[in-house]
Each structure stands twice: as C-alpha cells, then as structure tokens.
Chain A
Amino acid sequence: MKKTTIALFMLPFIVLCAGLFFSSYTPPQVSSKHSVTSQDDKKKKVQTLTRTLSAAQIANANHIHFLPTSHKDSWFSITVEFNEQDNIVITQKISDDDRKQFDINRASIDINNGSINIQQETPADTSHHVLILSISLPRRNWTIDVDDSLGGFVKLINAGEAVDLTLISRDIGKITGHFNHLVLWQRRDSDSHYVSDLEISDATIRHFSYYSTKLRLTLGKGVVMDALDLHCDKDGEFTLEETVTVLGANMTWQPLTAAQRARLLKHSPLQPSQTAEDKP
C-alpha cells in the first residue's frame, strides 16, 4: 500500500480534528449592527432584538427568519418595515423538548409609523426552545405553517372579515374526532392568562377529518389581534392539554387594502406606540 494513499486517507481526519479544536476558540458573538439589550431578574431574562429590513430585502424575500441570539433568550422584539402597500403576516415556530414547560406569556403588536413591533416573552427556565419569527410577504399566497400550537399566529383582521382556516395536525394521533369547535383566544396580559376570547359570530366546521379540519369563522369585533391560539374545546370543556394537540395551522388570505388597514388601526385597542407592556 502506498504511503501517499494512507496519507490521503488520514488527511480528512486531521483536518476534521483541526476544525474541531479550532471551534473551541470561536464562540459566536452577537453582531454590533443589531441593538441588543438584556436584563436579568430572578424570574425572566429580557432581551430586545431590533432589526430593520430594507424595502429591497422585503421585496426579494419570501420568508425572513429571525432567530434568538441564543437558545436561552426569553424575550425579544423585532421591528420590521411596513409600508402602505405591503401587508405582513408574522408567524412563529417554537420547538421545545418539553412542551408542557413552555408557554408564551405575552405577544403583542405595536403598529407605529408603518412598522410592526412584536414582543414575545417565554419563561426563562426553558433552555431548549428555539423561536423563529418568519414574515410572509404580500401578493403571494400566504401560508402560515406553525409546527407548534403554542406558537399560534398573528394576523391583522378586519371587522366582520371571514377567515378560512385549515388546521393541520402534524401529530395526527392527537387531533382525533372529539373536538366540536375551536376557539380563538386573544391574550395580552403578562401572566399567561387568556383574557378574552374574541366574539365569533359564526364558526362553521366545513370539513373534518383526522388529518385536517377546515372551518370558516367571522369575527364580530374589529380588532388588531394579538397572538392567537387555536384551542380545541373537547366536549365543551376546555382543557389545556388539548390546546397542545393542534400542532399546525395553514392559512391563506388576501392582503389588506390601505383603507382596511386604516379602519383596522382605528378599531385597535392598542394605541400606536403602545405595547401590551404599557397597558395597565
């Protein structure tokens, strides 16, 4: 056997060793171009991450993902450019080894001067979760694909607007035929309570199967929704366990017009520049 053959065979492993050794001296750091502030207290770690996208970035991208700077981040907010023509849908994806320990205490939208600000809080003791906020851009079919029911979704919904939802369970063993209707909850308080469910004048289950449930609902109140969760109401009795079972939601809708948005802002319970944190 030639020595060169053996040397060539050993070379990749040497390079691999060198790379692995080198990795221990290269901890990833947070970029200076993003303003990141953090404060710790006994209960939660707060971090704010602000990133502004240029118009070109928005126009060219289909999905823009934001990841927390570390897996232990419990708080962050993201600011995204939002012009008159564009409408933005924000989705979030959360994965956690232990879903029961994981919950979102707060999600709020602040609409101010054409920008959207989303704040998200999660308990500090969940060290494994990864939170991804993605933005789907207008004039395309917006498909929200949430892998975790706790992620919910955010949408600016106009008063009286009918919304078609298709719920898809990725974990099909759990979304079985007992639930009779779904409830959209609006949550805005800091203690993870579901404050008020929205008035739903019509919620019709159009199709039901083990794999997916399609329903059309019309909202009676014009609101800017906070993060919404789809909750199963099993046999009329709400149980938290069952909320975890709806693991996905796919939604497709048209963007809002400028007039719709103006009306929507007028009806918004949140004033411009006011976040849920500021509310009494």
Chain B
Amino acid sequence: MFILFNTQTFHWPRFCHYARAHFREQKRKYFWHFAVIALLCLLLLLLTGTLTNTLSENRPPYPYFPMSLQQTVYYSGLLITGGVFALRYFADLARSESALLWLMQPVSAFEKWLLSAMLTLVFYPLVYTLLFIILTPMPWMWLFIPLVQSDSSTELKYWLIYWGMTAYALTTTLIFKRHPIIKSITLGFVIYLLFKLFILSSANMDTVYFYFDNKETTVSGASLIKAYLVTLSVWILPVTLLWTSVFYSLKNRELS
C-alpha cells in the first residue's frame, strides 16, 4: 500500500512537503479571504436580523434568522465565495514570474491537481462551514448545519453544483493565460445564457431533479432507469469530467 503512495506520479512525503510549502506561501492570502468572508457574513446576519426584526410584528429580542434563510445564505455564500476561492487558486499563473516559480515546483501534475482538489473540495467547505456556525448567533437546535438535516438529499445538488463550479473555475483559469478571472466569469455567463435560452426550456426539470426531490416515489422500471441516466449525465458525469479536465489542463499548462 505504501509503495502505491511512492511512485513518480505520487510520492507521499513529497506531497506533504508541497502542501506545507503551499500553506506557508499562501497563508496570508487565505487568511484575508476568510476574514473578508467572516466580515460579510456578520454584516449580512446583522442586516437580516435587523430588517426582519423590524418587519416582524412580534419581534423577538434577537436577530430573526429562520433555518430556511440560514440555508439560503449558507449555500449562496458557499457557491459565491467558493467560486472566488477557486478562481484565485491558479491566479498566480497569470503573472509570468510567479507562473515560472509555480511551474518549476518539484512535484508532479497529479500532486498539484490533488492539492487543488483537496483545498477546494474539502478544506474550503470545512472552514467556511465552521465560520458560518461560529458567526450565526443561534442556539444549536435552530442552527442550520449542512447535510445533517432530514432532507439532506436535496442539499446534495448544491454540493454537486459547487464541485462542478469550482472545477470549471480551476479549468478556465488554467486555460486562459491572460486575465483568466475575467475571461472565466464572462465565459461562464455566456454558457449560462446559452443553456438558459436553448437547453433548459426544453428540459424536463422533474426528471432532472428526480434523484434529489423524488427519491422514494413510486417510479420504477424503464422510467426509473431513464431517470437515473439523466441524473448521471446531468449531475455526476459533468462534474467528474470537469475535474478530469482540471488535471489535463494543468498537465498541458506545465508542458506549454
């Protein structure tokens, strides 16, 4: 098992060393990123609490922040700030001097890809969730905690969107060499518009959201297989392919 972790593609001690070096180099960037998120979160909570308290007839003596609103804030925040985090991850490659330094790092493309995946898919959501829980002034029983609510299958779609979106952000920042963030956002907007105008209008959204909304309905037989095929091709495959695309873009960037 240990031998598997010590090939030319992946060498465990080298990867650990690379991860430590990455954190040492980027800790200031990450600190400010999370500090800004914390500040925004606090402002939003105060604003929401004050507004809803003012609008509510029988207002309680603390911010009024129901669980549904917490969920909306949590996932919209995760998607927006996570997208920014992913867009900035390879931003250094846009500058030729830092790009050269980054490309010369003595690690394989796979290790670079793995670290980027671990940071965007595991590290970032964990820290973001922790910040959200700490900053939300609610007792634990009214506190929204992702994926532990009873309807966690519906939450899964937000996570798949997050995984897909971060992979898109990483890929595009690797593909575009100049002004990658602006180009990535513009392309994303164009793709969204094209989908909205030509594709989504003809799609059957009940089938698209079948797995998340109607998991235990009485659909069976051929319809069930078709519904799962749609789930696979709309949700699972694009996300997997986008993450594969991140790896190949990274490899291609190293060679070019």
Contact = CB atoms under 8 A, between A and B. Distances in A.
B9 interface: no
B15 interface: no
A124 B41 CA distance: 41
Contact of B171 (A9, A17, A18): A9
Interface string A198-238: 00000000000011100000000000000000000000000
Interface stretch (B18-26, B84-92, B106-114, B217-225): B217-225
Interface residues of B, number: 58
Interface in A47-83: 49, 51, 63, 65-67, 69
Interface stretch (B29-37, B93-101, B118-126, B245-253): B245-253
Contacts of B67: 170
Interface stretch (A24-32, A101-109, A188-196, A264-272): A24-32
Contact of A67 (B56, B60, B204, B217): B217
A280 interface: no
B185 to A, nearest CB: 16
The interface residues of chain B, by DSSP majority, are classed as helix
B210 interface: yes
B150 interface: yes
Given A27-B206, A28-B214, A1 B245 contact: no
A25 B204 CA distance: 8
B60 A23 contact: no
B139 interface: yes
Q: Which of A69, A172, A212 has the most CB of B within 10 A?
A: A172
A170 B66 contact: yes
Contacts of A36: 218
Interface stretch (B75-83, B128-136, B226-234): B226-234
Interface of B: 52-53, 56, 58-62, 64, 66-68, 139, 141-142, 150, 164, 171-172, 175, 191, 195, 199-200, 202-208, 210, 214, 216-221, 223, 226-227, 229-230, 232-234, 237-239, 241-242, 244-245, 248-249, 252, 256
Given A25-B204, A28-B223, 8 more contacts: A8-B248, A15-B233, A21-B199, A24-B204, A26-B204, A28-B206, A31-B219, A173-B60
